[in-house]
Amino acid sequence: MRRTVLAAALLAFLPASFAWAEMPDAAKSLFEAKSVAERNTALSTLEASAAKDPASGYAAGAGEFFTALELLAGGLHRYGFDSPKSFMLPLMQLPVPDNPNPQPLTYEEFRAILVSFRDRLEKSAATLGSVPANADIGMVVDLTRAGIDLNEDGAIAPEESFAAIMAALSRGSVDMSAAAPSLTFRFDRADGFWLQGYAEFLMAQADFWLAHDFKAMFDGSFHMLFPRAKLPLQDALVPLDVGMSGNMFASEWRFADFISLVHLVNWPVVEPERRQAARRHLLEMIRLSREDWKAILAETDNNREWLPGPQQKGANPLTGLDVGQEQVTAWLATLTMAEDLLEGRVLLPHFRIAGKGINMKRFFDEPKPFDLVLSITGPGIAPYLESGKILTSDDFDQIQREFGGAGFLTFALWFN
């Protein structure tokens, strides 16, 4: 994300009353609720109307997605989560407030958090998927007013708004000052495909974890993430004066525990169907991204777009980026490359192995114990090596060049 949020003014030129008329009253209540009870009442109303009203279904699916994040955040807060603020642990970057009096946490309870999170995402994806592809949708949402309850106190406070959460995740690059332009977007049908795709992406991550027994890693390193939750090695390894330390690399003890975590990623498979499901979620994400861009490119308006097409000029207020046809073309090529890898039509290269590559379809569909270090060094991926067409660095570099100075990762996180 970029600091150029002043470009939001370019997207906010239409009066809000224009699009509010397209929203069910319960949807407006959903996105402006100040309490969990008020939000849940609105969500229940929308869910009851979803089958006969596409706009209600769309809003309900969005509400279910964000309550999935709330389930995860609330569970983490309950046990005194201390975010590592690292891209290496993508499910654990939510800015969960400090909890000085957490409950004790067990491995089984942590798995239960992931299951609840994953199952709510599945509900969201199903609800969003029930909305007709050609439905006329217009949901105006002010990201400084919509949010989730991060600390289970029943309130949705300004510091728990989506804008505040994104500002925390982007380390302040989203301007939250009073002088900042409005972070208000009009979410249309294309954005429903986008959100549904993200639900599939997060389900893939959750299912991959849940496919394995990671108790040894939990017992041996998770006091890094939950330093006061009475984990097995807390008394021996967590400093008595521990505080919220921010980035995992900012303190010696957390960095040491991160090394332990990496070493302990040697996970037996306990639910192989979940690892197989993770691949299906990723393939569905790819399908939805194609549907998203098909819908975006067909749009003729330019009304506070969350994800604009090349024909919708104006920099996005969160990323500061314009979208050109070259980025769209490169992204669609990226989707094809990813699909080919997941279907085993193209093999993933390994730096120390010539002439063979990793069949990622078999990696998911024929699961064996996952050892991170041995996968990096080679032995862990040996069962999946095959001869065939291998993806080369030139293939990726050619695509990456089309994304310009902002880089592939910035666009990928935004585009989904």
How confident is the model over 303-327, as pLDDT tens digits?
899 999 999 988 777 777 788 899 9
Under the banding of pLDDT at 50, 70 and 90, the label for residue 415 is confident
Q: Which pLDDT value is given to residue 241?
A: 76
Q: What is the pTM of this model?
A: 0.90
Under the banding of pLDDT at 50, 70 and 90, the label for residue 1 is very low
> Which residue did the predictor score with more confidence, 64 or 395?
64
User: Can you tell me the mean pLDDT for 10-35?
Assistant: 66
* pLDDT beyond 80 at 17: no
Q: Which pLDDT value is given to residue 11?
A: 32
Q: Report the share of the chain in percent with pLDDT over 90.
A: 72
d(CA 240, CA 252): 14
Under the banding of pLDDT at 50, 70 and 90, the label for residue 159 is very high
Q: Which pLDDT value is given to residue 244?
A: 52
Dihedrals phi, psi of 355, to nearest 5 degrees = 85, -10
User: Which is it for the CA torsion 357, 361, 364, 366, positive or negative?
Assistant: negative
Q: Which pLDDT value is given to residue 71?
A: 97
> Which residue did the predictor score with more confidence, 388 or 94?
388
Under the banding of pLDDT at 50, 70 and 90, the label for residue 15 is very low
* pLDDT beyond 90 at 245: no
d(CA 160, CA 148): 6
- Condensed to tens digits (0 to 9), the pLDDT of residues 83-123 reads 876 655 656 678 899 998 999 999 999 999 999 999 999 99
